[in-house]
Structure 1
């Protein structure tokens, strides 16, 4: 998940790419809706937002862009240890918070009793590996997710690796070296699309290396967009950019051509959106909603999925009809957004402020 808020940067003499924050929040909401829909409609050709999971690839591209923007000029003087501390403070609290929520829903899911299957020792192992981002795909009941208590953590695992490689190797690369790497990563992504039929993988033990292919291209491409200054000035604003982003997720799903459509969206369309988003201006009337969207994006992404396991078990146990799901899903999405806001304001932000203060002492 791209998680460095561009709007909150206080780097001197640098522009603030505010609209990118708002787009990240919209993408996070799309991920939540997609996860609900894939549970109740297994046939992707019948899901109106069937490409919603590609929001993760958009996150990765944003992350490469913003990391390069924030650190290219100071990483050499900053040092690896200091960089790691800053990134841990930014990312790790919500990894742990998501793991705690995952543990609670694992223990108290009214529609399931997996604790009786796995017991204390294995449950403790599931929690520790989740909190420390150590892949542990052992639960067939949860399709061998890399992180059984909080599935979206798979992308944070790769985000950490990308951040480490950036601080040790990637920041040194010139554009002449970076461009061929991007091209090579694009070939890898098209291969994954052809081999798997889609880009949905990365979250499970069996699709582990699909995740590597997804972040390799998008993170490097985001860096290349920033370093090449491919920023397209425009007047689309937050609403126009949001509409363009939604077009990707609303693209019809085709069994025949999906292997090609998804890599094309990731390789060409998302970098274009990052270029346009960085060059778009935010109107004063949209400042509040844009800030709210940016603030809840990472918390929403990292706190929603434990409740999706409960929802999936509810669907199996209760077999709700379509009329019931038409209100259950929207209300659930709204409640999850509200939870993300509460977690951000009263848990994540205070923890990060405290840790940042301690680091500076």
Structure 2
């Protein structure tokens, strides 16, 4: 996601509406990817099919986040922006839905029977500890008492929170020093982090055969997650500083189609002399994603209907990313229990989970996230306006 969420634009700056819409499309594709991840998991860890490279949506979210944060905040540090004000704004924007995703995760874990994937029962005290730690964004190391699912996730009640954890780190680094960098200094940061990410991907440092790293603290995953965040995040900021719109028609549909095609490219075999799948990942992250952001930022909606669609997709994107995975845990458990390993065997339930995730995200947005953020903004930010 944040990276999954957009920064709050200033009142005087226009929205990049197509970027909102594109972020929503990427979030919808992530949910689709996780459905097929469940089939792979139920089948014993086989390669994910159909939307094979859907995990790259995280890297796309990071570059979007960097672009939007650079656009929204870069020029405000010279006026009235302080560290405290920036962190308050980002916490208000992100943390309410992080808490909601964790609560839903705890509820679904209890519905699942409070058991790890191997069937071991987990004490209620461990679940409460996992809930408390996740609310304060304290990650679990593999084997920790609050790693309640037992598979080493940083946040075992809501796995995708790992990317939001790195989003927070990116925001902290931006506030402390990245925003102070000159264009040349930022370009050097992009180059160095890009070299690190290339080394990680091309030589398959973690051994997954793919860049799906960062979700656990096991081995080199933390540093892989840092590089996955830092390179696209800083690249997005560099793009925002140099952005000049180009004339293009149908930008939203072009970018959406390209994302879908990129995510559906089959896994690329071969690890000698370098990981070929890593080459593909780097092409997507370093070349294609920046181009898509540039194109989408250049385009404009042409009527009220398309504007409403893009705004809806943008509004729903972060809540959908933040709350959908606890439902996936239930779906995965159902697949395992019924020994279902292909989409044709479970498409009805998959469709129900997919639409249910969208509906739940919308309800959370309207009934919880927007009211809470409005109240928090009025309480903590009104004096700064």
TM-score band w.r.t. shorter chain: over 0.9
After TM superposition, list the pairs within 5 Å mapping 1:1-361 onto structure 2: 1-5=2-6, 9-12=9-12, 14-41=13-40, 42-44=45-47, 47-76=49-78, 77-109=80-112, 113-114=115-116, 117-137=121-141, 138=144, 139=147, 141-196=149-204, 197-206=209-218, 207-256=221-270, 257-284=276-303, 285-320=305-340, 322=342, 323-359=344-380, 360-361=382-383
Q: Quote the Cα distance in structure 2 between the aligned partners of 1:95 and 1:165.
A: 20
CA shift for structure 1 position 320: 3.0
Q: Quote the Cα distance in structure 2 between the aligned partners of 1:228 and 1:10.
A: 19
Q: Deviations over 1:308-341 (max 9, x none)?
A: 1111111111113644312211221111011111
Name the SS for the 1:70 alignment partner.
helix
Q: Quote the Cα distance in structure 2 between the aligned partners of 1:145 and 1:357.
A: 35
Q: Quote the Cα distance in structure 2 between the aligned partners of 1:75 and 1:117.
A: 51
Q: TM-score, normalising length from structure 2?
A: 0.88
CA shift for structure 1 position 117: 2.8
Q: Give the match for residue 273 of structure 2.
A: none
Residues 329 and 233 (structure 1), Cα distance of their counterparts in 2 relative to 1, 3 Å cut: same
Name the SS for the 2:121 alignment partner.
helix
**Structure 2 runs not aligned, ≥5 long:** 271-275
Q: Quote the Cα distance in structure 2 between the aligned partners of 1:96 and 1:316.
A: 28
Contact 1:185 1:217 in 2 (8 A): yes
Contact 1:2 1:63 in 2 (8 A): yes
- Structure 1 residue ranges (4+ consecutive) displaced by more than 6 angstroms after TM superposition: none
Q: TM-score, normalising length from structure 1?
A: 0.94
Q: Deviations over 1:93-128 (max 9, x none)?
A: 011001100110111115x63497331332222111
Contact 2:166 2:225 in 1 (8 A): yes
More helix by share: 1
Q: Deviations over 1:45-83 (max 9, x none)?
A: x61111111001000000000001000111242100011
**Structure 1 runs not aligned, ≥5 long:** none
CA shift for structure 1 position 294: 0.7
CA shift for structure 1 position 140: 7.8
Q: Deviations over 1:131-166 (max 9, x none)?
A: 111111333844200011111111111111111111
Contact 1:146 1:203 in 2 (8 A): yes
CA shift for structure 1 position 167: 1.1
CA shift for structure 1 position 3: 4.4
The count of residues paired between Structure 1 and Structure 2 equals 357
